[in-house]
């Protein structure tokens, strides 16, 4: 189904509201037409047949039209805004619904959340689908119909004239303008894209710009781009001016043409002269319906673009699915083991496997570290356990069963994940914590905070658990965020703990505080930690060294150091200068 049809189908649940709004919109313009037309008739008639009593009907219509116009306008705006918000809600819900099964895979494929931010912007754009595109188009059609029908009462010739002119003005001109503007439009968009990227670089990369003494260079490039944009904008302004002029002249020309055709009809007695003014004003007033069509054309182009992007994302097939018959997960509280059996895995867009024939067993309640350079495959192991993807060969086993046999939700319920970039939601501390356990009582929340070492911080914050954090609230430091993630994981109380470089972005002191809390969290759980910070490695039961997707070494910290292989090299590289043993930590 084409994008435009699908977009229209989005409005189906609101068709009655949309119809009402269209009717109101039409009424609004029809009232205006009635008001002006009847006023013209009124004064013509007053000259013609000077009897006050004969004017009562036109006067009444004029009064009525005043009220209905204003009332219709108000009602139409309420209804169409309500409709727009409802459409927005529907779009958002729909998109979110479709995104959930696509996660985490969809996030890994598209970098830096760029896709998702654009998605949100596209949804925002599409909310205007009704009010900027559908409604003006239908109202214009209806009004054209009403005008033509009214004219037809007087003379088919006049009706045809009115129809043709309105169609030319309403559809012909915007179409022409879009043709003229197309090349300029795309070129301008491109230039603006370049300018925006350059502006972003200049502002966000300012320390580097200044450090490299490149200010003049950057300003120069911005100036050049801006000049190019200026030239394109002038072209675009010309097109816009022509469009305006054409639209304006259509109105004048339409009235002129109708007059040209009507005068001989009056002379021949086919049309009464008293109606001339009425017809002229009626036609002029009806052009109000054609005004928003130019913008509607432009918007429809953007809407199609947004719709195409949107559907491309939500139409994607999920990378993983629930099994037809799900196995029940082990009872809560049972320790869970983790096994990789000959796993080979390649990311969908890549050629080289990220993991090759990886096999290991992590018994329940034990702790294992995954070590290796960036890109060695540590994160890929974790992604497979999270079932972002399925391996192409081999199997991942949780509690001795292939992970694919569990329902996705059940499998993930067995995992608690902490990675290096904990996302804090725009919400209270309480709400952020409750993600781990929605039914947790405040007591449970405080207990988790104590355990994680964040309780004092929260107590010292005004509003405590109700303090608003996240983008629009307080910003938490890196360490505070990780401690919050730890508290949240404690509340979830899952048997398996997956850690992906949890202290990577922290300074050495904060790192220790967080590691302390992490080790408290690890108690009694099966733990898999990916890290390249080789700190406190003797506390791990086993260490797996990955290189280019393969396990190259396996063993305890001491055994690996003795073996003098890759691990020993990494460890030495990290601690090259110091002779002191850095790894002693108070338990």
Q: Could you say whether residue 466 binds another protein (CB under 8 A)? A: no
Q: Which of 179, 189, 245, 563 binds another protein (CB under 8 A)?
A: 245
Q: Decide: 549 and 376 in contact? Cβ < 8 Å.
A: yes
Q: Which of 3, 6, 92, 154 binds another protein (CB under 8 A)?
A: 92
User: Residues 93 to 152: which contact another protein by CB under 8 A?
Assistant: 93, 96-97, 99-100, 103-104, 107, 111-114, 116-117, 119-120, 123
Tell me the closest approach of the beta carbon of residue 245 to another protein, in angstroms: 3
φ, ψ for residue 346, nearest 5 deg: -125, 135
Residue 93, Cβ density class (10 Å: 0-12 exposed, 13-18 middle, ≥19 buried): exposed
Q: Could you say whether residue 321 binds another protein (CB under 8 A)? A: no
Q: Which of 19, 334, 359, 574 binds another protein (CB under 8 A)?
A: 574
Q: Decide: 472 and 426 in contact? Cβ < 8 Å.
A: yes
Q: Could you say whether residue 240 binds another protein (CB under 8 A)? A: yes
Tell me the closest approach of the beta carbon of residue 384 to another protein, in angstroms: 14
H runs (alpha helix) in 49-134: 56-102, 105-109, 114-126
Report the alpha-carbon distance of residue 461 to residue 195 in Å, rounded. 42
Q: In the structure, how many helices (H) and strands (E) does the chain have?
A: 21, 12
Report the alpha-carbon distance of residue 345 to residue 380 in Å, rounded. 8
In terms of CB distance, is 276 or 306 closer to another protein?
Answer: 276
Tell me the closest approach of the beta carbon of residue 181 to another protein, in angstroms: 13
Tell me the closest approach of the beta carbon of residue 64 to another protein, in angstroms: 10
Report the alpha-carbon distance of residue 347 to residue 335 in Å, rounded. 30
Residue 374, Cβ density class (10 Å: 0-12 exposed, 13-18 middle, ≥19 buried): exposed
Report the alpha-carbon distance of residue 299 to residue 478 in Å, rounded. 43
User: Residues 482 to 541: which contact another protein by CB under 8 A?
Assistant: 488, 492, 504-505, 507-510, 512-513, 516, 532, 534
Residue 56, Cβ density class (10 Å: 0-12 exposed, 13-18 middle, ≥19 buried): exposed
Q: Could you say whether residue 42 binds another protein (CB under 8 A)? A: yes
Q: Could you say whether residue 480 binds another protein (CB under 8 A)? A: no
The maximal CA–CA distance of the chain, rounded, in angstroms, is: 117
Q: Which residue has the tokens 């119809």?
A: 19
Q: Which of 2, 9, 57, 74 binds another protein (CB under 8 A)?
A: 74
The C-alpha angle 459, 464, 465, rounded to 5 degrees, equals: 120
Report the alpha-carbon distance of residue 403 to residue 385 in Å, rounded. 8
Q: Could you say whether residue 435 binds another protein (CB under 8 A)? A: yes
The C-alpha angle 68, 69, 74, rounded to 5 degrees, equals: 95
Tell me the closest approach of the beta carbon of residue 340 to another protein, in angstroms: 19
User: Residues 376 to 415: which contact another protein by CB under 8 A?
Assistant: 386, 409, 412-413, 415
420: which 2 tokens? 């290096």
Q: Which of 186, 244, 332, 359 binds another protein (CB under 8 A)?
A: 244
Q: Could you say whether residue 70 binds another protein (CB under 8 A)? A: yes
Number of residues that bind another protein (CB under 8 A): 162
In terms of CB distance, is 260 or 342 closer to another protein?
Answer: 260
Q: Could you say whether residue 366 binds another protein (CB under 8 A)? A: no
In terms of CB distance, is 438 or 462 closer to another protein?
Answer: 438
Contact range with another protein by CB under 8 A, out of 262-270, 341-349, 357-365, 441-449: 262-270
Q: Could you say whether residue 564 binds another protein (CB under 8 A)? A: no
Tell me the closest approach of the beta carbon of residue 455 to another protein, in angstroms: 15
Report the alpha-carbon distance of residue 309 to residue 398 in Å, rounded. 37
Report the alpha-carbon distance of residue 240 to residue 244 in Å, rounded. 6
Q: Could you say whether residue 359 binds another protein (CB under 8 A)? A: no
Q: Which of 24, 33, 142, 280 binds another protein (CB under 8 A)?
A: 280
Q: Could you say whether residue 186 binds another protein (CB under 8 A)? A: no
Q: Could you say whether residue 168 binds another protein (CB under 8 A)? A: no
């Amino acid at each position: 189904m084409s994008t435009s049809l699908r977009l229209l189908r989005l409005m189906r649940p609101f068709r009655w509201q949309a119809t009402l709004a269209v009717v109101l919109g039409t009424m609004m313009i029809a009232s205006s037409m009635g008001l002006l037309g009847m006023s013209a008739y009124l004064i013509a008639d007053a000259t013609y047949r000077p009897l006050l009593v004969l004017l009562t009907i036109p006067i009444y219509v004029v009064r009525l039209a005043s009220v209905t116009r204003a009332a219709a306008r108000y009602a139409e705006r309420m209804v169409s805004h309500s409709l727009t918000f409802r459409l927005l809600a529907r779009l958002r819900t729909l998109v979110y619904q479709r995104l959930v099964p696509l996660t985490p895979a969809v996030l890994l494929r598209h970098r830096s959340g760029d896709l998702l931010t654009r998605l949100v912007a596209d949804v925002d754009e599409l909310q205007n689908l009704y009010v900027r595109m559908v409604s003006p188009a239908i109202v214009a059609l209806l009004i054209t119909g009403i005008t033509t029908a009214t004219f037809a009462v007087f003379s088919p010739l006049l009706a045809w004239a009115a129809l043709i002119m309105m169609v030319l003005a309403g559809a012909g001109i915007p179409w022409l303008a879009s043709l003229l503007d197309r090349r300029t439009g795309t070129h301008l968009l491109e230039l603006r894209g370049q300018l925006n990227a350059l502006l972003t670089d200049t502002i966000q990369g300012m320390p580097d710009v200044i450090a490299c003494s490149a200010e003049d260079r950057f300003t120069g490039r911005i100036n050049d781009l801006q000049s190019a944009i200026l030239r394109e904008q002038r072209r675009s302004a010309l097109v816009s001016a022509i469009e305006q002029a054409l639209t304006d002249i259509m109105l004048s020309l339409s009235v002129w043409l109708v007059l040209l055709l009507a005068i001989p009809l009056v002379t021949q007695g086919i049309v009464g002269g008293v109606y001339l003014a009425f017809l002229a004003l009626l036609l002029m007033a009806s052009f109000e319906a054609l005004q928003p069509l130019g913008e509607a054309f432009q918007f429809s182009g953007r809407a199609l673009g947004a719709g195409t992007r949107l559907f491309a994302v939500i139409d994607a097939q999920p990378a993983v699915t629930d099994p037809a018959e799900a196995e029940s997960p082990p009872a809560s509280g049972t320790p869970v083991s983790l096994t990789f059996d000959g796993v080979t895995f390649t990311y969908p867009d890549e050629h080289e496997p990220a993991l090759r024939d990886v096999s290991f067993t992590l018994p329940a309640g034990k702790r294992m570290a995954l070590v290796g350079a960036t890109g060695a495959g540590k994160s890929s192991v974790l992604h497979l356990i999270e079932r972002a993807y399925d391996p192409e060969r081999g199997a991942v086993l949780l509690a001795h069963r292939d992970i694919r046999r569990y329902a996705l939700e059940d499998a993930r319920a067995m995992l608690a994940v902490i990675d290096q970039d904990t996302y804090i939601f725009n919400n209270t501390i309480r709400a952020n914590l409750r993600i781990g356990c929605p039914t947790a009582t405040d007591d449970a929340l405080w207990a988790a905070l104590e355990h994680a070492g964040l309780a004092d911080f929260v107590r010292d914050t005004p509003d405590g658990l109700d303090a608003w954090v996240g983008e629009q609230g307080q910003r938490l430091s890196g360490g505070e965020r990780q401690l919050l993630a730890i508290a949240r994981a404690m509340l979830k109380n899952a048997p398996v703990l997956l850690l992906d470089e949890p202290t990577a972005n922290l300074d050495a002191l904060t790192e220790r505080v967080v590691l302390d809390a992490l080790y408290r969290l690890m108690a009694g759980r099966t733990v898999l930690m990916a890290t390249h910070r080789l700190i406190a490695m003797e506390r791990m039961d086993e260490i797996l060294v990955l290189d280019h997707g393969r396990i190259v070494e396996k063993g305890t910290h001491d055994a690996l150091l003795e073996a003098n292989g890759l691990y020993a090299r990494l460890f030495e590289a990290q601690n090259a200068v110091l002779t002191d043993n850095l790894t002693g930590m108070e338990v």
